[in-house]
Every structure is written in C-alpha cells, then in structure tokens.
C-alpha cells in the first residue's frame, strides 16, 4: 500500500467523523420533538400530515402497539411494491413498455425493499418502469430507513425513561425521520450528484452511435434457435458488429441519494454504483461512499445525546471505528497486492507511474483500488449493499472481509437505526458478562439487564444465525440452490454463504457470481429477509418496552462504566469472538480454503 492509499482512507474516516457530530445532535433534537431549524419551513407540512392521517402526535404507544404499527406499515409497503411491479405494464411512466415482473421476483424485490435489504435480483434498467422505481422502490428507500431509525429511537427511549409504559409514537417518529432528516439530506445530495453528472430524467432511453464499432463472434442459430454445427460438430460462428449503444436514463440521482443515505443499496441500474451514470466522478464516488456511513455513524452520537451522556455515544462509535478501520486497511492491502493468478499470466499489477496497480478485475478504472475497497468494506459494514465494484472478483481475503462484516451481524455501523439497535443488543450482552465480572448483577445505562432482556437478546443473535446457516445448507444441498452457483470449488460455497448472510442481515450486497433470480432464491431469500428484519425488530421493541418500565439505578463506584476504553475493548472482543465462533467453520470451507489454496 502506498502513502496515497493511506491518505485516502484517512480522509474518508476524518470527514465522516466531522460530519457525524452535528448531524447526530440534530437528529436527537428531531426525535425529542425539539424545535429544529427546518421546523419553520416543514412544521406546517408535519402538522398537516398528522391532521390528514388522523394521527394524535401526543398519544404514545406501548411496545406491542409500536411493533404492530411497524409491522403493519412495512407489510402494506411490501404489498404496494409487489402490486406496482405486477401491474407496471398497465400503468404510466413506463416509456420502455416493460411488462409485469414475474411473481417470484416481485415478491423478492418487495420484501427486499420493505426490509431495507435491497437485494437486487432485478436489473433496474431492464425490468422496472420509472413508476415502479419511484413510487415503489424510492418510497421504500425512505420509509424502510425511517422505520429502522424509529425502532432505534424507541429503544433509546427505553433506556432513557423509567417506570414508563410507552416508548413513543411510531407515526410521529416515522414522519419526523423522513421529513426532517432523510428528505432534506436527500435533496441536498441529489443536487450534488446531478452536478457530477448523475442522470435525472424521465426521457426514453437514448440510442447513440458508437465512436468505435465493436465486433464479436456469436454462434449461428437455425430457425429453431439451436446452434448450427459444421461437419466436425463445432458450432458455426458468425461475426456481429455493434455500431450503436442504448443509454438507459431515468430519475436516478434522486434515488441514488436516498439509496446511499438510507443504507438501502438497491441501485437504479443493474450494476449499481459501478454504472457510470450512477457514480460518474471521483467526487460523486466520495459523496456516495460517505453517505453510506453518515447516518449510522451520526446515530451513535444521537444515542449519546438522547440518553444524556455523550460519552456513551462516542464509545459505541469508536467501537465501530476500531473494527472497521483495520478491516478497511486489510482489504485495501489485499486488493492492492494483486491477484496471484493474474501474476502467473504475466499481467503487471504493480503500482507505477501509469497505473495504480492491484487486483483490478471487477473494479472500475475511474475508481481504482482504494475507492473500491473502502466502498466494499463500508457498504457491508453498514447494511447498505450498494456496490461500485464486484466483490466476487476480489482476492479471497479482500472478498472475505465484506462477508465477515456482514456476518458480524451488521452491527459495525449497520443499517440506519438497525445497526445501532443491533450494537446496543451486543452492548447488553457484553454488559451482562462484564457486569458479572465486577460483582454486580449487570446494568446498562442504569437499567438492570435481567431474564427478559437476555431472552430477547439471545433470541435475536440466534435467529439471524439460524437463518444464515439453514439457508446456506439449503443452498448447497438442494438442486434448485446448486443451480444458481456459477463458480466451482470453495468460491461457489462463498457465493451462497454470502447471499444468505446478506439476506438474513438485511445487507443486500452480493457476490455477483450467484444467479439469484430463480424461484428458489427469490422465495427463500425473500422469506429470510423478512424474518431477519422483523424477528429482530420485535424483540428489540420488547426490550425497549421492558427497559422503559424499569427503575433507573444510579451509577456508583461499583457500577461498570460503559464509556471507557476498557469497555470498548471488551465489547469489540464479544462482537468479534461471537462472530468468529459462529462463522469460522463455514468461512474455513469458503474464503479461508480459497486463501490458502493458491
């Protein structure tokens, strides 16, 4: 790795922290219902919306009611996206006249977007109408992100309140999250992206003449569509020449903004941000990459602000940083080191005056190594899942890092809201063990961690693990599952493992080698995404409800402090050891085996 590589990584992290602080404090004000500077402009809209929907903003909900609201809201969103896809052929804003999407794929995509996973089995520019993209996917990009943040805020209130029966009003949290946080940020981002050349248009796809014709060979087909064979039995090839190129258009910039900010990741185009019209310049790449972690990082500080002890928020943010930063460096180092197979083919991968070197397979030349690996680690650390390079083509170690980050449970930043509530559950587990070690029954932020919390926390860790394991087992042992694997050997195993990890942890990125658009992956994947999202949200809200009811135990000298470097180290230990213990065997059969087999 060169000094330039290191410098780039340092810039990414520094800007992230600098922006996270003000945003975190701003978001705390939004969720605490305090006046914010946008309130004067947007306040009337907020109140009008409540009146139209018959929402009583002062009326608070118990955890069960809150959970029911989240669930109903997400389900209705899911049905809406499904219906839009099935009927898009008959609806407007469909200049390419795309027909209805198949039921399996529609189901998968609907679940995928309502759960903030945004797994892409569809190709945006070749399957979906502008209406589906905007009214379906983009809307879910906003609300699924806001739902995750609402659940987090409810959990924070659980810590904050004592002897309370309610944890807030979901409709208010949802509305304020979208109106004051996601919308303004997205608008700002859209303009910045358009300035960089990200397309924003309702026009039909443009056909342009290529400056240089491309020729290639295809097998000659007979009338029935079978290849014609010559006397020796070899297929007869014929030369094709391409002189024109079709350029897909659409309202991409507005959608890319929220896709990055809301840890959604479902691209407007099939190749996601590797597509030049989604991510055209180094600056747009920097902005998009930054957006992945912006809200998750800021939410840590929102948490500290809301519980009245900023140090608690910083401790969690530092915990996340300390896991992510070394992995980012390690991944970059591995990719910069190049691919040994290419080296044996005599391809020069050394950094020089003319090229930055490294393993460039599956990476965009305009991004280079660092911008690709930082994106790859960040997008999997956060449950974003958007890509600007193809993880499938990474070196074994470089490809294992995104996989490991997903399998750590999407708690290193994770999805907006969902990442931090996952992290808080890990903090609860850590406090349970560490708290006992200091000779007290465990407490976190003044709340005793007791049987109910442990039940829910254990259930959460268990459910996500079970989904990944059982899903992968089905993938590698059923005919339908095996059909999707395109690579032989351990790499094929990695593809399946990656896919199910991505489903269960609601990440949405993929080892692209797997063909996921089949009945098997669409339905099983859809189900796993659904369970992975809501069977975690429900226990989280249950914990929130239970914590809110408890009395607050004032901290004393005998209380385990949870903002110290020692606690941070212990928390990292728990996350890494639990992650390593649960995934080491399967990783051994995938990327680890690959890594040692040169």
Partner 1 sequence: MGRKKERSKSKSKKSLFESRIIRRALWDSVKKLNPVYQIKNPVMFVVEAGSVLTTALFLHSVITGRGEASPGFIFQIAVWLWITVLFANFAESMAEGRGKAQADALRKTRQEVMAKRMTKPQRDTPRDSNVTQVPSSQLKKGDVVLVEAGDIIPMDGEVVEGVASVNESAITGESAPVIRESGGDRSAVTGGTMVLSDWLVVRITSNPGETFLDRMISMVEGAKRQKTPNEIALDILLAGLTIIFLLVTATLLPFSIFSVKAAGHGSPVTMTVLVSLLVCLIPTTIGGLLSAIGIAGMDRMIQANVIAMSGRAVEAAGDVDVLLLDKTGTITLGDRQATMFIPAPGVDAHVLADAAQLSSLADETPEGRSIVVLAKEKYSLRERDIHALGAHFVEFSAQTRMSGVNMDGREIRKGASDAVEKYIQKEGGTFPQEVRHIVDDIARQGATPLVVAEGKKVLGVIRLNDIVKGGIKERFAEMRQMGIKTIMITGDNPLTAAAVAAEAGVDDFLAQATPETKLKLIREHQAGGRLVAMTGDGTNDAPALAQADVAVAMNTGTQAAKEAGNLVDLDSNPTKLIEIVEIGKQLLMTRGTLTTFSIANDVAKYFAILPAAFISIYPALGALNIMHLATPQSAVLSAVIFNALIIIFLIPLALRGVKYKPLGAQVVLRNNALIYGVGGLAVPFLGIKLIDMLITALHIV
Q: Could you list the residues that contact partner 1 (CB under 8 A)? A: 162, 429, 432-441, 446, 449-451, 453-455, 457-459, 461-462, 465-466, 469-470, 472-473, 476-477, 482, 488-490, 492-493, 551-554, 556-561, 564, 566-567, 569-570, 573, 577, 580-582, 584-586, 588-589, 592-593, 596-597
Least Å distance, CB 496 to partner 1, is: 8
Task: Give the three-state DSSP class for 237.
Answer: strand
Give min distance, CB of 586 to partner 1, in A.
6
CB of 437 to partner 1, least distance (A): 4
Nearer to partner 1, 219 or 565 (CB): 565
Among candidates 537, 531, 541, 530, which has minimal Cα distance to 114? 530
The CB-of-340 to partner 1 minimum distance in angstroms stands at 13
Phi, psi at residue 168, to the nearest 5°? Answer: 110, 180
Pairing, β 237-247 against β 206-219? antiparallel
For partner 1, the closer of residues 228 and 433 by Cβ is 433
The candidate with the shortest Cα–Cα distance to 127, out of 308, 270, 15, is 270
For residue 244, give the 3-state DSSP assignment.
Answer: strand
Closest distance of CB 568 from partner 1, Å:
12
Contact 69, 175 (CB under 8 A): no
Query: Beta 443-444 vs 237-247: how paired, if at all?
Result: unpaired
Taking the complex as a whole, the smallest distance from the CB of residue 475 to partner 1 amounts, in Å, to 9
Which C-beta is closer to partner 1: that of 343 or that of 470?
A: 470
For tokens 């896991």, what's the residue? 323
CB of 396 to partner 1, least distance (A): 11
Q: How far apart are CA 393 and CA 331, in angstroms?
A: 13
Looking at the Cβ atoms of 71 and 553, the one nearer to partner 1 is 553
Going by C-alpha positions, the residue among 132, 79, 119, 147 that lies closest to residue 525 is 119
Which tokens hold the place of 494? 């990695």
| Residue closer to partner 1, measured from CB, 351 or 458 | 458
CB of 565 to partner 1, least distance (A): 10
Min CB(458)–partner 1 separation in Å? 3
- Burial class of residue 265 in the structure, from the number of CB atoms within 10 Å of its CB (0-12 exposed, 13-18 middle, 19+ buried): buried
The nearer residue to partner 1, 221 or 566, going by C-beta atoms, is: 566
Contact between 27 and 150 under an 8 Å Cβ cutoff? The reply is no
The conformation of residue 412, written as its DSSP 8-state character, comes to: S
The dihedral sign for the CA sequence 514, 515, 517, 520: negative
- Distance of closest approach, residue 59 Cβ to partner 1, in angstroms: 28
Closest CA to 458 of 537, 539, 529: 539
Tell me the DSSP string of 551-566: PPPPP-TTSPPSSSHH
The stretches of 388-515 forming alpha helices (DSSP H) are 396-407, 418-437, 451-477, 479-483, 489-504
C-beta closer to partner 1: residue 147 or 587: 587
- Among 227, 204, 210, 200, which Cα is nearest to 96's? 204
Distance CA 102, CA 206 (A): 26
| Shortest distance in whole angstroms from residue 38 CB to partner 1 | 38
Angle, in degrees to the nearest 10, between helices 103-114 and 139-160: 40
Q: How far is the CB of 597 from partner 1 (least distance, A)?
A: 4
Residue 476 CB, nearest approach to partner 1 (Å): 4
- Measured distance CA(245)–CA(253) in Å, rounded: 22
Closer CB to partner 1, residue 213 or residue 462? 462
**In Å, how far are 501, 517, 548, 555, 575 from 407, measured between CA atoms?**
6, 23, 30, 34, 10
Rounded distance between C-alpha atoms, residue 522 and residue 16, angstroms = 35
Q: Which is nearer to partner 1, 300 or 434 (CB)?
A: 434
Nearest to partner 1 of 193, 531 (CB atom): 531
Residue closer to partner 1, measured from CB, 350 or 482:
482
> Could you give the maximum distance between any two Cα atoms of the chain, in Å?
89
Closest CA to 114 of 150, 142, 85: 142
Residue recorded with tokens 């597509």? 275
Query: Which of residues 21 and 448 has its CB atom nearest to partner 1 in the complex?
Result: 448
Q: Torsion over CA of 200, 117, 299 and 467, rounded to 10 degrees?
A: -170
Specify the residue, 252 or 428, whose C-beta has the smaller distance to partner 1.
428
Min. distance of Cβ 165 from partner 1 in angstroms? 18
What is the DSSP secondary structure assignment for residue 226, as one 8-state letter?
Answer: P
Q: Which is nearer to partner 1, 189 or 500 (CB)?
A: 500
Give me the least distance between CB of 232 and partner 1, in Å please: 30
Q: Are 136 and 288 in contact (CB under 8 A)?
A: no
Could you tell me where the DSSP H helices lie in 204-309?
252-261, 282-306
Triad 589, 595, 596: Cα angle to 5°: 90
Q: In this complex, which beta carbon is closest to partner 1, that of residue 136 or of residue 532?
A: 532
């Amino acid at each position: 790795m060169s000094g330039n590589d290191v410098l780039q990584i340092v810039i990414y992290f520094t800007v992230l922290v600098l922006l996270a602080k003000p945003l975190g404090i701003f978001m705390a004000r939004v969720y605490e219902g305090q006046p914010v500077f946008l309130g004067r402009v947007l306040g009337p809209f907020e109140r009008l919306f409540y009146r139209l929907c018959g929402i009583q903003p002062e009326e608070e909900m118990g955890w069960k009611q809150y959970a029911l609201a989240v669930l109903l809201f997400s389900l209705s969103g899911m049905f809406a996206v499904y219906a839009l896809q099935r009927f898009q052929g008959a609806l407007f804003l469909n200049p390419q006249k795309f027909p209805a999407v198949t039921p399996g794929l529609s189901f998968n995509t609907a679940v995928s977007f309502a759960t903030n996973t945004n797994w892409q089995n569809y190709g945006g520019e070749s399957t979906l109408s502008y209406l589906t993209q905007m009214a379906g996917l983009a809307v879910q990009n906003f609300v699924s992100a806001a739902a995750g943040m609402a659940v987090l805020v409810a959990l924070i209130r659980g810590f904050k309140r004592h002897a309370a029966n309610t944890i807030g009003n979901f409709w208010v949290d949802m509305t304020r999250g979208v109106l004051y946080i996601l919308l303004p940020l997205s608008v700002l981002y859209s303009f910045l992206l358009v300035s960089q050349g990200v397309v924003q248009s309702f026009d039909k796809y443009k056909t342009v003449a290529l400056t240089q014709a491309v020729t290639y060979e295809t097998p000659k087909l007979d009338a029935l569509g079978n290849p014609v064979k010559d006397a020796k039995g070899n297929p007869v090839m014929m030369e094709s020449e391409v002189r024109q190129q079709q350029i897909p258009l659409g309202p991409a910039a507005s959608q890319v903004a929220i896709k990055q900010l809301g840890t959604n990741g479902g691209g407007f185009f099939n190749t996601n941000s590797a597509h030049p019209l989604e991510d055209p310049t180094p600056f747009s790449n920097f902005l998009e990459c930054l957006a992945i972690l912006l809200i998750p990082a800021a939410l840590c500080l929102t948490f500290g602000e809301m519980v009245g002890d900023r140090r608690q928020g910083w401790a969690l943010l530092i915990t996340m940083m300390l896991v992510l930063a070394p992995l980012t460096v390690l991944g970059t180092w591995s990719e910069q080191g190049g691919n040994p197979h290419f080296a044996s083919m005599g391809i020069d991968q050394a950094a020089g005056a003319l090229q930055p070197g490294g393993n460039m397979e599956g990476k965009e030349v305009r991004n280079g190594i660092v911008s690709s690996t930082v994106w790859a680690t960040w997008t999997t650390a956060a449950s974003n899942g958007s890509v600007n390079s193809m993880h499938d083509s990474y070196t074994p170690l470089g490809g294992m890092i995104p996989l490991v980050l997903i399998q750590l449970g999407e708690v290193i930043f994770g999805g907006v809201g969902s990442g931090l509530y996952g992290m808080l559950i890990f903090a609860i587990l850590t406090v349970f063990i560490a708290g006992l070690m200091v000779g007290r029954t465990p407490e976190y932020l003044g709340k005793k961690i007791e049987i109910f919390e442990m039940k829910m926390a254990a259930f959460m860790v268990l459910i996500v693990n079970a989904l990944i394991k059982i899903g992968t087992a089905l993938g590698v042992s059923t005919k339908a599952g095996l059909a999707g694997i395109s690579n032989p050997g351990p790499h094929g195993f990695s593809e399946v493992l990656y896919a199910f990890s991505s489903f269960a942890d609601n990440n949405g990125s993929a080892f692209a080698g797997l063909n996921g658009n089949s009945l098997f992956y669409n339905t099983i994947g859809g189900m796993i995404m659904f369970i992975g999202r809501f069977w975690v949200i429900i226990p989280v809200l249950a914990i929130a409800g239970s914590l809110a009811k408890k009395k607050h135990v004032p901290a004393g000298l005998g209380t385990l402090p949870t903002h110290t470097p020692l606690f941070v180290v212990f928390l990292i230990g728990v996350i890494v050891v639990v992650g390593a213990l649960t995934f080491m065997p399967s990783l051994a059969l995938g990327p680890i085996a690959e890594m040692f087999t040169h």
